[in-house]
Structure 1
Amino acid sequence: GGGTAAAATSGAGGNTDPQVWARNVYDATLRVFHPKTGSSPNERLWFKTNLKYGQLLYEMNETAKLQLVIKDLLRSSGEKQGGADGAGGGSAEGESAGGSNSNNSSGASTHLMEISALQIQLYSRQKDTKKLREVFQRAMRVQGGIPHPRTLALIQELGGKMHMTNREFDSASKTFFQAFKSYDEAGDPARLRCLKYLVMASMLHASKINPFDSQEARPYKDDPEIVAMTNLVAAFHNNEIKDFEGILQRNEGKIMDDEFVREHVSDLLRTIRTQVLRKVIGPYTRISVSAIARELNYIPVSDVESLLVSLILDGKLDGRIDQVGGVLYKRAEKGGSSGAAGDDNNDGGGGTTGGGGSSGQGGGTSSTTASRGGSGVSTTTSSGGTSVAISGKDGSGGKGAVEVGFGEDADGAWGYSGSVEARNCAAIESLTVALENLTASVTSAGGRSTYHQIM
């Protein structure tokens, strides 16, 4: 029955330990104010004292006694005993929106939120994600309660950490933002800690939105404790990986002093490295893994391969890794429109021309040679010291397989992206059609037999 939690601890005699002494005071107070068995029954004072007693037990890591306190609190709030530990999904009947039940009063709803804050702390320490999620979701559904902003912020902060543990970074960033606003409303310095978590969750979500652009967070942008996070976000959005890693290594703003931040540093580094990697390999169909490693601030080649494998398995990269040669081969993306006389495909200032169509790549001069027959079509275009080689062969005279190379030498050590391939193919087709038309017009003056002889 009532008083279970108070009876769970015995007097400590002459023990001078402050926590033990405080626990004895709580025991005596709870016995006096107990609603049913106390000498001066007062349910409100008993509830508030029991909440504080539960917080003391949490700080003392007295898990078994804390669970007894939570059961007493839930029972006093009209909860079913079967859901007293917060694990039952249907135990929170007092949280429904109906106004006829007395448990839906503002006071009862507020009590539920306060009890939930105690439960969430317990399950967070125990790393019991299942119960933590159930209690958090239940607390967020409670209506009509007016808990202290600090109580609400605590629930939201621990809920955000739960989302982070489950790699639900989008939900985590939203929950941390709500926690930050609640702490800010309460005037609690913990708002800066929560703002750091918000920034970290936003980066892990690879969000394009800067958290400091919000009206609530903007005033803290230049706070000495937050400046380092501001610089970290700027480096992240600008893909400045050296600056990003430097801030973490120098522990600017004591970022690394927070245990929760340290737990996710590896995820942060992996996120920005993946972001920079995709930018580096974007223009190429063939690139050495060591070159990627240099661009990623000289990380080990094995780490680069791990990032590439993850992208390939996630379907974000269509390619293969030659581990022996240390080369990434990326399949060119298909795209572009078929060429015809009169079509224009531009990628820069100037380039090759044939007939009425044009294909530009780069800003320098270029030259083109083309032949048509059983051997297929071949073209070589040079521009500003960079060479692009495309070859195709098809016995029927149509367009065959295409291989694209892009680099400093003529053998095509580097591969340019699919859009350029498509444009060059279009230019070849346009050039071929134009040459056929030109040949036909020139030979028509000499008679049909001459035309057949040339073709």
Structure 2
Amino acid sequence: MSDDDFMQASDEEYDFEYEDEDDEDNGDVDIENKYYNAKQMKTTDPEDAIDEFLSIPALEPEKGEWGFKGLKQAIKLEFKLKRYDKAIEHYQELLTYVKSAVTRNYSEKSIDNMLNFVEKGADNPAAVSYIEQFYSHTLQCFQSTNNERLWLKTSIKLAKLLLDRKDYHSLARKLKELHRACQKEDGTDDPSKGTYSLEVYALEIQMYSLMRKNNQLKMLYQKALKVRSAVPHPKIQGIIRECGGKMHLSEENWAAARSDFFESFRNYDEAGDLRRIQVLKYLLLATMLAKEDIDPFDSQEIKPYRNDPRIAAMTDIVDAYQRDDIYKYEDVLQKNTDLLADPFIAENIDEVTRNMRTKGVLKLIAPYTRMHLSWIAKQLCITEPEVQDIVSYLIVDGRVQGRIDEHSGTFEIDSREDEDRIKAIATLSNAVGDLYNAMFKDGEGFRLSGGDTTVLGFGDSDTRDLGGPASRGNRKYRGAFRSGITLH
């Protein structure tokens, strides 16, 4: 073979190998182009986009990254179009990719984002029922692959779903399982899983708060506050503090409730969570119940929300409460019935209203001593039984001295002036009696001056002859006896 023939053969062999690699690259490029073309169709023609995404896995000789990406996009579109059965079917197929087709970190991040997507997109009961299937398949997959971190994240998401459903029995079982996963072999909390442990505490605290089991809630609340190994998301701290505030409020520990609601608001605000607005309303409620002259808007964190329209009604109520303006208070409450849509506010605003009406009754009856209960009710725009209840409380509490005549429906206040006058007369009468006893029973009565030792008293005859110029002197002495003075 000549050198030319050798070179020609070498070139042909080289060209063949080059063309083979080019075909492989072209295959990847075709798959990539197909993926991005399908993404362009998502908004204009989602159904065709789904078909394009689902065709990508078949183009790969082995399970790879593009098939994983295609399935992800198809599942999201199917869920959005309410094709929940298909979404679950393809999600199970997607989970088969996590063992070898993609890296551990990439698969973990993708699956977590997928679960967040379906959780946020569950805007109807049918969707919510399928979310649990997403969680269950995920837990089975990552338990078998020994990915504890993603298993914990998914289990916590499932626990949140059970909490939203108020399925407390299933939730309690899941929380026990999570507690064990966050503990060491000796049963103590594992410091390396402190963040997960705190999230579990937050879920359990919410459960006991909703179930109104204050004893268990208080114990968990104290344990959660002692966790120091975690760097939790501010939202978790906000949840724990909010439940703590509700617990303190139910125990009428107003100051502690106000402190916890403030901390909860601060954490929610830091997390950018909209829950901060509702907790701010709770803080204003606790401030009124604490009966302290503290303006919560003085703090730097809350000051920007003073004129926020979302809390305008609550701000007006606080203003009326602090000025003892019962009419303004009732007017704001009647015009903002949506304020009572929150069960917690609806339950505790009654105590504020009672305090407000009590102050209103005291202010109204101050100038009077006798009035009809129906008149008080009319003035304050409340019912007569409510007035009777408030007046009875004031009498029992010793803040008002008076009595209710149920037969005539009147309330009579004991006059303080009459009471003081009666006491003064009684004191004077006792003093006169003591003086009489001292002078005429225990003492010697009146004695004449000038050395005469004759004892004169009211029992002596004022017609005795005392000597000297008769008639005028005797009359003088008689007058002295009547006036009760000593003669000199």
TM > 0.5 fold call: yes
Corresponding residue number in structure 1 for 2:411: 327
Q: Distance in 2 between matches of 1:304 and 1:55?
A: 45
Residue correspondence of structure 1 range 31-430 to structure 2 within 5 A: 31-34=140-143, 38=144, 40-78=145-183, 93-94=188-189, 103=190, 105=191, 107-251=192-336, 254-281=338-365, 289-295=373-379, 297-325=380-408, 326-330=410-414, 332=416, 392-393=425-426, 394-397=428-431
Q: Distance in 2 between matches of 1:170 and 1:317?
A: 28
- Of Structure 1 and Structure 2, the greater strand share is in 1
- Of Structure 1 and Structure 2, the greater helix share is in 2
Q: Structure 1 residues 132 and 396 mapped into 2: Cα distance closer, same or farther (>3 Å)?
A: closer
Output the amino acid matched with 2:391. L
Q: Distance in 1 between matches of 2:247 and 2:363?
A: 31
Structure 1 stretches of 4+ moved >6 Å: 12-16, 447-452
Query: What SS does structure 1 have at the residue aligned with 2:310?
Result: coil
Alignment root-mean-square deviation, CA: 3.5
Corresponding residue number in structure 2 for 1:26: 135
Q: Which moved more, 1:390-399 or 1:146-155?
A: 390-399
Output the amino acid matched with 2:232. P
Question: Residues 210 and 233 of structure 1 are in contact (CA less than 8 Å); yes or no, is this contact kept in structure 2?
Answer: no
Q: Structure 1 residues 327 and 316 mapped into 2: Cα distance closer, same or farther (>3 Å)?
A: closer
Q: Distance in 2 between matches of 1:170 and 1:129?
A: 18
Corresponding residue number in structure 1 for 2:30: none
**How far apart are 1:450 and its partner, in Å?**
7.7
Q: Distance in 2 between matches of 1:313 and 1:396?
A: 32
Question: Residues 285 and 332 of structure 1 are in contact (CA less than 8 Å); yes or no, is this contact kept in structure 2?
Answer: no
**How far apart are 1:160 and its partner, in Å?**
1.9
Larger radius of gyration: 2
**5+ long unaligned stretches in structure 2:** 1-83, 89-125, 434-475
Q: Output one character per residue of 1:268-322: Cα deviation in whole Å (capped at 9) or x when no partner.
A: 2112111223344456666654454355x13223212211222344454454433
- Please, what TM-score do these two structures have when normalized by structure 2? 0.57
Q: Output one character per residue of 1:394-422: Cα deviation in whole Å (capped at 9) or x when no partner.
A: 433469xxxxxxxxxxxxxxxxxxxxxxx
Identity fraction in percent: 33
**5+ long unaligned stretches in structure 1:** 1-11, 82-90, 95-102, 337-377, 379-388, 400-446
Q: Distance in 2 between matches of 1:72 and 1:398?
A: 87
Q: Structure 1 residues 452 and 222 mapped into 2: Cα distance closer, same or farther (>3 Å)?
A: farther
Output the amino acid matched with 2:430. S
Output the amino acid matched with 1:76. A
- Please, what TM-score do these two structures have when normalized by structure 1? 0.61
Q: How many residues align?
A: 320
Q: Distance in 2 between matches of 1:300 and 1:265?
A: 18
Q: Which has the higher contact order (CA 8 A, sep 6+)?
A: 1
